[in-house]
C-alpha cells in the first residue's frame, strides 16, 4: 500500500501522470508513480528490476551533461535527447522506462524557450534517477525532471536534509533493539561486493546505519527493522546488518543460504519505504520542506506467518 503525507505547494503538481498511480500498473513495468510535479517524480520500484543499466547510465549522463554526482547542464543549456531508451539485455529498468515515457510525452523544447511545463532550458528530456536501489530491493526512488531539482536532491543528500527510510526482515533479534551502527565500508568493484569493518581502513568510507526494531517473531527468530540513512553506499544496509550478525532474510549475497532455504524466503526482504525532506529547505524544491512520502510494506504479517 502506498501513501503520502502532505501535498506539494507547486501549481504543477500531478500534471503529467504516467497512467494509473498505483500497484495496478502492469507487472512488466519496473515502477508505478506515487507522486509527481513539474520538478520531481517519486516512484515505487518493483523488486527484480534494475535501477538502470550501463547503457541507461551513459544516456542519462549525456542528458544532464555529466555524472550523477555533479552533472548539471552548463549555462542552462537544453538537455540532450537520446534517440531511444536503452534498458539493456536484462529488460526494462527504472531509468529506461522513465526515458520511454518522458520522450513520448512531448518533444524537447528549443534552447531558451519554454516547454509544455513552462520550465524552459531547465527541464530535462525525461526524468533522471538521482540514486539507485539494488535489483532485488523495491520501494521509493526519486527522479529529477529539472536541473534545479537534481541540484537540490544532491545537495540535500550531502547536507543530511533528505532522509531515506527502509524496512527489512533480519535473522535474530538485535540487542539493543534500536541504535546506530557505525563502520567502514570498502567496495571491491571487481567482485561487485562490499566489506564492512569496525575500525578505519584504507580506501574505506565511514558509514552510519540507524535501526529500530518494529517487531520480533520468536518461533521463526526473525525481526522487522526500520532503517534510516542520510546517504547510502553500495549494499550498505545489507552488508552492515550482516556484519552486525543480523543478515537480511532472502539476501543471496550477504545472507545465510541455509536459513533462506529453510524459511523459503521469497526474495530479498528489504524495501525503501520513505523519503523525508528536512525543514527550511531552499532552492527549486523548497516547497517540499518538511514533507514525508511513505510506501509501507507489511513485513510483520509475513514473518508471523513463518513463525
Asked whether residue 189 falls in the same domain as residue 135, the answer is no
Asked about 134 being catalytic, the answer comes back as yes
Asked whether residue 171 falls in the same domain as residue 140, the answer is no
Whole-number pLDDT of residue 174: 97
pLDDT tens digits for 140-178?
Answer: 999 999 999 999 999 999 899 999 999 999 999 999 999
Q: 141 near 272, Cβ under 8 Å?
A: yes
Backbone phi, psi, residue 157, to 5°: -65, -45
Lowest mean pLDDT among 73-82, 110-119, 182-191: 73-82
Considering only residues 279 and 85, tell me which one the structure prediction assigns the higher pLDDT: 279
> For residue 307, what pLDDT band results from cuts at 50, 70 and 90?
low
Q: What is the rounded radius of gyration, in angstroms, for the C-alpha atoms of the chain? A: 20
pLDDT over 90 at 194, yes or no: yes
Residue-range definition of the domain harbouring residue 258: 165-270
Whole-number pLDDT of residue 110: 38
pTM, to two decimals: 0.80
Asked whether residue 149 falls in the same domain as residue 217, the answer is no
What rounded mean pLDDT belongs to the chain?
A: 82
pLDDT over 60 at 6, yes or no: no
> For residue 87, what pLDDT band results from cuts at 50, 70 and 90?
low
Q: What value does the mean pLDDT take over residues 183-211?
A: 93
3-state secondary structure the chain: CEEEECCCCCCCCCCCCCCCCCCCCCCCCCEEEEEECCCEEEEEECCCCCCCCHHHHHHHHHHHCCCCCCCCCHHHCCCCCCCCCCCCCCCCCHHHHHHHHHHHHCCCCCCCCCCCCCCHHHEEEEEEECCCCCCCCEEEEEEEEEHHHHHHHHHHHHCCCEEEEEEEEEECCCCCCEEEEEEEEEEECCCCEEEEECCCCCCCEEEEEEEEEEEEECCCCEEEEEEEECCCCCCHHHHHHHHCCCCECCCCCCCCHHHHHHCCCCCCCEEEEEEEECCCCCCCCHHHCCCEEEECCCHHHHHHHHC
Specify if 238 maps to a domain: yes
Considering only residues 137 and 108, tell me which one the structure prediction assigns the higher pLDDT: 137
Considering only residues 88 and 127, tell me which one the structure prediction assigns the higher pLDDT: 127
Query: Which residue in the list 10, 134, 266, 298 is annotated as catalytic?
Result: 134
Lowest mean pLDDT among 89-98, 136-145, 265-274: 89-98
Selection from 4, 68, 289, 5 nearest residue 161 by Cα: 289
Whole-number pLDDT of residue 260: 95
pLDDT over 50 at 72, yes or no: no
Whole-number pLDDT of residue 273: 97
Asked whether residue 185 falls in the same domain as residue 218, the answer is yes
Whole-number pLDDT of residue 256: 95
Asked whether residue 202 falls in the same domain as residue 127, the answer is no
Cell of 33: 508513480
Asked whether residue 117 falls in the same domain as residue 55, the answer is yes
Whole-number pLDDT of residue 10: 38
Residue with cell 509501507: 296
Asked whether residue 112 falls in the same domain as residue 43, the answer is yes
Whole-number pLDDT of residue 280: 96
pLDDT over 50 at 133, yes or no: yes
Whole-number pLDDT of residue 18: 34
Asked whether residue 135 falls in the same domain as residue 192, the answer is no
| CATH code of the domain covering residue 221 | 3.30.2350.10
Count of structural domains within the chain: 2
Asked whether residue 47 falls in the same domain as residue 139, the answer is yes
Asked whether residue 154 falls in the same domain as residue 173, the answer is no
CA distances from 5 to 14, 84, 159, 167, 293 (A): 15, 35, 23, 18, 6
Query: Going by C-beta distance under 8 Å and a sequence separation of 6 or more, which residues neighbour residue 299?
Result: 167, 168, 169, 214, 224, 269
pLDDT tens digits for 10-65?
Answer: 333 332 233 334 445 567 899 999 999 999 999 999 999 999 999 999 888 887 87
pLDDT over 60 at 196, yes or no: yes
Query: Going by C-beta distance under 8 Å and a sequence separation of 6 or more, which residues neighbour residue 211?
Result: 174, 178, 179, 180, 181, 225, 226, 227, 228, 241
Amino acid at each position: 500500500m502506498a501513501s503520502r503525507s502532505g501535498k506539494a505547494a507547486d501549481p504543477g503538481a500531478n500534471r503529467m501522470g504516467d497512467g494509473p498511480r498505483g500497484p495496478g500498473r502492469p507487472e512488466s513495468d519496473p515502477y508505478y508513480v506515487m507522486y509527481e510535479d513539474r520538478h520531481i517524480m517519486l516512484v515505487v520500484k518493483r523488486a527484480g528490476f534494475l535501477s538502470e543499466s550501463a547503457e541507461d547510465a551513459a544516456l542519462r549522463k549525456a542528458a544532464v551533461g555529466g555524472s550523477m554526482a555533479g552533472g548539471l547542464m552548463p549555462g542552462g543549456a537544453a538537455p540532450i535527447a537520446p534517440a531511444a531508451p536503452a534498458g539493456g539485455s536484462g529488460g526494462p529498468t527504472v531509468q529506461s522506462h522513465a526515458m520511454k515515457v518522458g520522450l513520448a510525452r512531448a518533444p524537447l523544447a528549443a534552447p531558451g524557450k519554454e516547454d509544455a511545463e513552462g520550465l524552459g532550458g531547465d527541464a530535462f528530456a525525461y526524468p533522471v534517477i538521482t540514486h539507485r536501489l539494488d535489483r532485488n530491493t523495491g520501494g521509493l526512488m526519486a527522479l529529477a525532471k529539472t536541473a534545479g531539482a537534481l541540484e537540490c536532491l544532491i545537495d540535500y543528500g550531502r547536507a543530511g536534509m533528505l532522509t531515506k527510510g527502509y524496512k527489512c526482515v533480519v535473522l535474530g533479534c538485535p540487542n539493543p533493539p534500536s541504535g546506530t551502527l557505525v563502520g567502514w565500508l570498502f567496495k571491491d568493484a571487481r567482485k561487485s561486493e562490499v566489506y564492512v569493518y569496525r575500525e578505519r581502513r584504507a580506501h574505506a568510507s565511514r558509514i552510519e546505519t540507524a535501526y529500530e526494531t518494529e517487531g520480533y517473531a520468536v518461533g521463526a527468530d526473525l525481526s522487522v527493522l526500520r532503517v534510516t540513512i542520510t546517504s547510502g553506499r553500495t549494499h550498505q544496509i545489507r552488508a552492515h546488518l550482516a556484519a552486525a550478525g543480523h543478515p537480511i532474510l532472502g539476501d543471496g549475497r550477504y545472507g545465510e543460504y541455509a536459513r533462506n532455504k529453510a524459511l523459503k524466503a521469497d526474495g530479498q526482504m528489504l524495501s525503501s519505504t520513505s523519503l523525508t525532506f528536512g525543514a527550511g529547505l531552499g532552492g527549486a524544491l523548497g516547497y517540499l520542506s518538511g514533507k514525508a512520502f511513505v510506501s509501507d510494506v507489511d513485513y510483520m504479517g509475513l514473518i508471523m506467518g513463518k513463525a
